[in-house]
Amino acid sequence: MRTHISSPLPRCAAWTGLGLLLAGLAACGGDDDPPAMGTLQLAMTDAPACGYDHVYVTVNKIRVHQSAAADGSELLGWRELSIPAQRIDLLTLTNGQLLELGSLALPAGTYQQVRLILADNPSNPSSANPLANALVLSGSTNEVALSTPSAQRSGFKLKALFEVQNGQVSDMVLDFDACRSIVRAGASGRYNLKPVVAVIPRLGTAIEGFVDPSIAANVVVSTRDPDNNLRATVPNPTTGKFTLAYLPANTNYTVVVSGQDLTTAAITNVPVSLATGVTALNTAQTAILPAASAMASVAGVVTNTANDLLTEAVVSASQTLSTGQVLAVASTGVNVVNADFSLRLPLAAAVKATYVPGAALSFSTDGMVAGRYNLSGTATGYTTQSTDPVLNLGLEGSTTLKNLVLTP
């Protein structure tokens, strides 16, 4: 975690972050020996959204707690950052772009939980009083309300682990994955928001590169950090440039370029270090342009061993290179009414290039079987999958049925 050394904090302080007011719950009083205090600095960024032109959320408050098990409805031990009301379009925060949320004075120690408290949607929205939480489907201009169960009361619970040290600033980013955070509510036309947010240090590191501008609007670029958090972004639609920012130091990242009607491409052995800062994969003149691929689909339902529908499950399709790297190709939340899912996947075998500093990327097949994937489901409280994850897709345009069963 990157920290900023600062002078000891005053007993009562007002903090701002790029004009956003802090209303923290720091105590002010007459103790002669004030407790050791540090500061939590928060910002928000976003991974790409699938099939949406806008995803709006309105965060009223952010609460933090030192216990991972603390109940959001209780008051004891929570510290709170209040944020002036503003609608945030998450899709403006890709490629490492940040929205500063503010700072909060906290007792020094380890913190293990963050909760997002969202504003209510108005009962009669208008242009002057728009929906607080909403999306716009690609190709549409109409805003569709996002349902946010419990978010206005106890808040959405986020796993976190960060240290606040005496007299220092702990600089953290809420990496909001809009694509995996939105799920359909049956055939009702309604959508639920179930935030998938990684709480990560704001490091001065990144992997940068270019895809061909002709495919930039249709691909996702991703990697996994050492804690197995999926980090993803979308390239600039004009230049094709992408940035995977705030990555912990590691010598062996695998960057994946995936999209509809395209062969999945992977770049392995990509190093990231604090000393180097930004690792450049390629230039605009050597932009990545995967070959076209025929597509097929997989569909099914996610249940547990008692045949109960797991309506909060997430389904992911991945491929594994001969060298062991796992490629995240696509994922989706299941329908929140009937727990069904559908994924459209490339039939072509993935291609791989090994990163060599200063050398052009050279892609080749990796001995993988065309149309073969591992299909996995995850849900809170379930640790294994009794269904064989291996999936062999059918012919172009076909749909393979594969139900998934999870075990606690």
Provide DSSP, 276-293: T-EEE---GGG-B-PPB-
Q: Are residues 185 and 272 in the same domain?
A: no
Res 151 pLDDT > 80: no
179 and 212 inside one domain: no
Mean pLDDT calculated for residue range 69-73: 82
- For the segment 269-283, what is each residue's pLDDT rounded down to a tens digit? 999 999 999 999 999
Is 214 found in the same domain as 117?
A: no
The maximal CA–CA distance of the chain, rounded, in angstroms, is: 75
Buried b / exposed e along 293-310 (16+ C-beta atoms within 10 A): bebbebebbbbbeeeebb
Residues 217, 198 share a domain: no
Q: Is the pLDDT of residue 178 over 90?
A: no
- Reported as a single tens digit per residue, the pLDDT across 305-344 is 999 999 889 999 999 998 888 999 999 889 888 999 999 9
Average pLDDT of span 2-30:
30
Report field, pTM of the whole predicted structure over 0.85:
no
Give me the sheet containing 206-210, strands edge to edge: 241-245, 206-210, 278-280
Domain that holds residue 97: 3-202
- How confident is the model at residue 16, as a pLDDT? 25
What CATH number is attached to the domain comprising 289? 2.60.40.1120
Q: Do 45 and 168 share a domain, yes or no?
A: yes
**CA neighbor of 206 nearest in space, from 191, 182, 225:** 225
Same domain, 129 and 50: yes
Same domain, 254 and 151: no
Mean pLDDT over 378-401 rounds to 95
Q: What band does 17 get if pLDDT is binned at 50, 70 and 90?
A: very low
